[in-house]
């Protein structure tokens, strides 16, 4: 995230840069030549310009999602600066009070710019500046999109195909944040649920996912996507109003508001922060959905989580219904899934700690990904790659222990030119039309597909000799959307 700080004090600049630079792209606006020289010598990014001019912020290429912090030291009226920032189109604006301003501050700007948030550098320095500012930014961002959605008659909260617990819970949470009902904010998807645990969750928590078609998209005044980004829908959505997701950011669309945090283990964690930032009422139903989503997307906090995921889980736990969570978890192991795991074991081969298997035609994609997840638990297996044919597509599901080469890079390198491929370091998926596969690699039977994927995986891993032989430091991985 980009941050522009208007500062004229050396101490304030250094304090903000040290606190914010690790997480934000910070650039300072200064009008003092001596201070500009010091920043240049220290390697701190800056713009030497008049902070009361609109073109200064246009030069900084600010957007509605840029955070602007303005030092308020009481020695000048910052009203003209605030006006310039507002005219440049920025809405995330903070006035940072420095020193004792009780007798010096001109309060007129506070009346003229009620949307500006006041921060005290004294309060910030007592704790974590990044944490304090982060919470403030989240609150401002939520309040902005709440206002933007207020006057819309019909809202669509769009989920990815075959929505999982993270998508379902996030959709429910966003509807609560927007102060909507199921009639004024539809939770929808182009393709409905097929996985047993997802259906069980939706039934137990009474979550209705309405079918959506390209034609019905025009019936909505506002569209938000959660746990997915618009590129996923193949050009059907080149513009939306809000995107909230934890998967790697992709281009190819425009949006008024977005909150994408790839270091989070689930989108539900992001929505938990949104709910808490505005003190929203969190019902037992929503808390249960969110808790189960975090648990599901992070394999009970065992794969690529951060402190925020742990905090969200701890916050939600006393609010949730533990009995319902246990009931939803009970749907994960089915006889059908175990039968497909058996097929993978019988047809698979292990080489260089990489297990590969092709299980032929299957009725649903989740059977392939479940087999890949299950088989990664085998002794001495560091990569699990399972493929199968669903309708007219080859689906390849990839899992690894999360510290070696990137699973997403593997599927992109091998299949992105003939199909859809992507994911994270530890989880990835490719969906390739079978005819496109034949055109690139010649016509193959089941054994031929198995040999092909085995060959591609070994070649990919051997690009970095010895990388796969390192000791396992821990299984911290993250689930990809519909991987």
pLDDT band at 156, cuts 50/70/90? very high
pLDDT of amino acid 332: 65
Domains of the chain: 2-127 (3.40.50.720), 148-329 (3.90.1640.10), 335-469 (3.10.310.30)
**pLDDT over 50 at 363, yes or no:** yes
Residue 197 or residue 321, greater confidence:
321
pLDDT, tens only, 172-209: 999 999 999 999 999 999 998 988 788 989 999 999 99
pTM: 0.62
Residue 305 or residue 192, greater confidence:
192
**pLDDT over 60 at 331, yes or no:** no
- Calculate mean pLDDT across residues 385-404: 89
- Percentage of the chain exceeding pLDDT 70: 87
pLDDT of amino acid 171: 97
- Calculate mean pLDDT across residues 294-320: 81
**pLDDT over 90 at 388, yes or no:** yes
Average pLDDT value for the chain: 85
Question: Residues near 325 by Cβ (< 8 Å), separated by ≥ 6?
Answer: 288, 291, 292, 295
- Calculate mean pLDDT across residues 123-146: 73
- Calculate mean pLDDT across residues 9-36: 84
- In this structure, of 103-117, 250-264, 307-321, the range with the lowest mean pLDDT score is 103-117
pLDDT of amino acid 300: 61
**pLDDT over 50 at 218, yes or no:** yes
Q: Radius of gyration over alpha carbons of the chain, in Å?
A: 25
pLDDT of amino acid 478: 35
Q: Which of 42-46, 61-65, 136-140, 284-288 has the highest mean pLDDT?
A: 284-288
- Percentage of the chain exceeding pLDDT 90: 49
**pLDDT over 80 at 158, yes or no:** yes
pLDDT of amino acid 92: 80
pLDDT of amino acid 145: 94
Q: What is the phi-psi region of residue 71: left when phi exceeds 0, alpha when psi lies from -120 to 50, beta otherwise?
A: beta
pLDDT, tens only, 443-464: 889 899 999 999 999 889 876 5
pLDDT of amino acid 481: 45
Total Cβ atoms within 10 A of residue 321? 17
Output the 3-class SS for the chain. Answer: CEEEEECCCHHHHHHHHHHHCCCCEEEEEECCHHHHHHHHHHCCCEEECCCCCHHHHHHCCCCCCCEEEEEECCCCCCHHHHHHHHHCCCCEEEEEECCCCCCCCCCHHHHHCCCCEEEEHHHHHHCCHHHHHHHHHHHHHHHHHHHHHCCCCCEEEECCCCCCHHHHHHHHHHHHHCCCCCCCEEEEECCCCCCHHHHHHHHHCCCCCEECCCCHHHHCCEEEEECCCHHHHCCCCCEEEEEEECCCCCCCCEEEEEEECCCCCCHHHHHHHHHHHCCCCCCHHHHHHHHHHHHHHCCCCCCCCCHHHHHHHHHHHHHCCHHHHHHHHCCCCCHHHHHHHHHHHHHCEEECCEEEEEEEECCCCHHHHHHHHHHCCCCCCCEEEEEEEECCEEEEEEEECCCCCCHHHHHHHHHCCCCEEEECCCEEEEEEEHHHHHHHHCCCCHHHHHHHHHHHHHHHHCCCCCHHHCCCCCCCCCCCCCC
pLDDT of amino acid 110: 59
pLDDT of amino acid 470: 41
**pLDDT over 90 at 93, yes or no:** no
Q: What angle do CA 462, 467, 469 make, to 5 degrees?
A: 105
**pLDDT over 50 at 299, yes or no:** yes
- In this structure, of 203-207, 280-284, 406-410, the range with the lowest mean pLDDT score is 406-410
**pLDDT over 70 at 397, yes or no:** yes
pLDDT of amino acid 21: 73
Q: What is the phi-psi region of residue 2: left when phi exceeds 0, alpha when psi lies from -120 to 50, beta otherwise?
A: beta
**pLDDT over 80 at 469, yes or no:** no
Residue 77 or residue 8, greater confidence:
8
- Calculate mean pLDDT across residues 359-368: 92
Question: CA 428, CA 480: separation in Å to the nearest integer?
Answer: 6
- Calculate mean pLDDT across residues 144-148: 93
**pLDDT over 60 at 130, yes or no:** no
**pLDDT over 70 at 472, yes or no:** no
Distance from chain centroid for Cα 291:
17
């Amino acid at each position: 995230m980009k941050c522009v700080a208007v500062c004229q004090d050396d101490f304030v600049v250094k304090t903000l840069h040290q606190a914010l630079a690790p997480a934000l792209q910070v650039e300072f606006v200064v009008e003092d030549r001596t201070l500009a020289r010091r920043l240049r010598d220290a390697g701190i990014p800056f713009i030497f310009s008049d902070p009361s001019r609109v073109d200064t912020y246009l030069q900084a290429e600010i957007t509605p999602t840029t955070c602007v912090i303005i030092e308020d030291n009481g020695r000048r009226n910052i009203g003209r600066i605030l006006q310039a920032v507002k005219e440049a189109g920025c809405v995330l604006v903070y006035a940072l009070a420095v020193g004792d301003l009780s007798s010096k501050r001109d309060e007129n700007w506070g009346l003229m710019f009620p949307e500006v948030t006041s921060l005290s550098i004294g309060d910030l320095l007592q704790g974590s500046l990044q944490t304090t500012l982060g919470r403030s930014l989240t609150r401002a961002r939520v309040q902005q999109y709440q206002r933007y959605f207020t006057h819309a008659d019909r809202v669509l909260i769009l989920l990815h195909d075959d929505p999982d617990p993270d998508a379902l819970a996030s959709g429910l949470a966003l509807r609560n944040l927007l102060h909507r009902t199921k009639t004024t904010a539809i939770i929808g998807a182009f393709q409905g649920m097929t996985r047993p645990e997802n259906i069980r969750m939706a039934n137990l928590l009474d979550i209705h996912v309405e079918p959506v078609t390209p034609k019905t998209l025009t019936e909505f005044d506002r569209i938000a996507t959660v746990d997915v980004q618009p590129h996923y829908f193949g050009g059907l959505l080149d513009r939306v109003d809000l995107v909230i997701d934890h998967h790697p950011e992709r281009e190819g669309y425009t949006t008024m508001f977005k909150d994408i945090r790839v270091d989070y283990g689930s989108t539900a964690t992001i929505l938990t922060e949104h709910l808490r930032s505005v003190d929203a009422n969190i019902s037992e139903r929503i808390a249960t959905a969110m808790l189960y989503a975090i648990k599901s997307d992070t394999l009970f906090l065992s794969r690529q989580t951060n402190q925020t995921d742990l905090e969200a889980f701890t916050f939600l736990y006393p609010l949730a219904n533990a009995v319902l969570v246990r009931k939803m978890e009970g749907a994960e192991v089915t006889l059908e899934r175990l039968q497909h795991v058996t097929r993978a074991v019988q047809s698979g081969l292990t080489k260089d700690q990489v297990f590969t298997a092709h299980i032929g035609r299957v009725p649903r994609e989740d059977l392939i990904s479940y087999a890949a997840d299950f088989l990664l638990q085998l002794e001495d297996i560091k990569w699990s790659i399972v493929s199968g044919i669903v309708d007219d597509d080859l689906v390849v599901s990839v899992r690894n222990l999360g510290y070696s080469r990137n699973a997403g890079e593997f599927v992109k390198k091998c299949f992105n030119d003939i199909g859809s491929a992507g994911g994270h370091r530890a989880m990835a998926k490719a969906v390739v039309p079978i005819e496109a596969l034949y055109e690139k690699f010649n016509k193959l039977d089941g054994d031929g597909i198995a040999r092909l994927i085995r060959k591609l995986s070994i070649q990919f891993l051997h690009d970095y000799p010895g990388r796969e032989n390192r000791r396992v430091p821990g299984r911290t991985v993250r689930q990809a959307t519909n991987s």
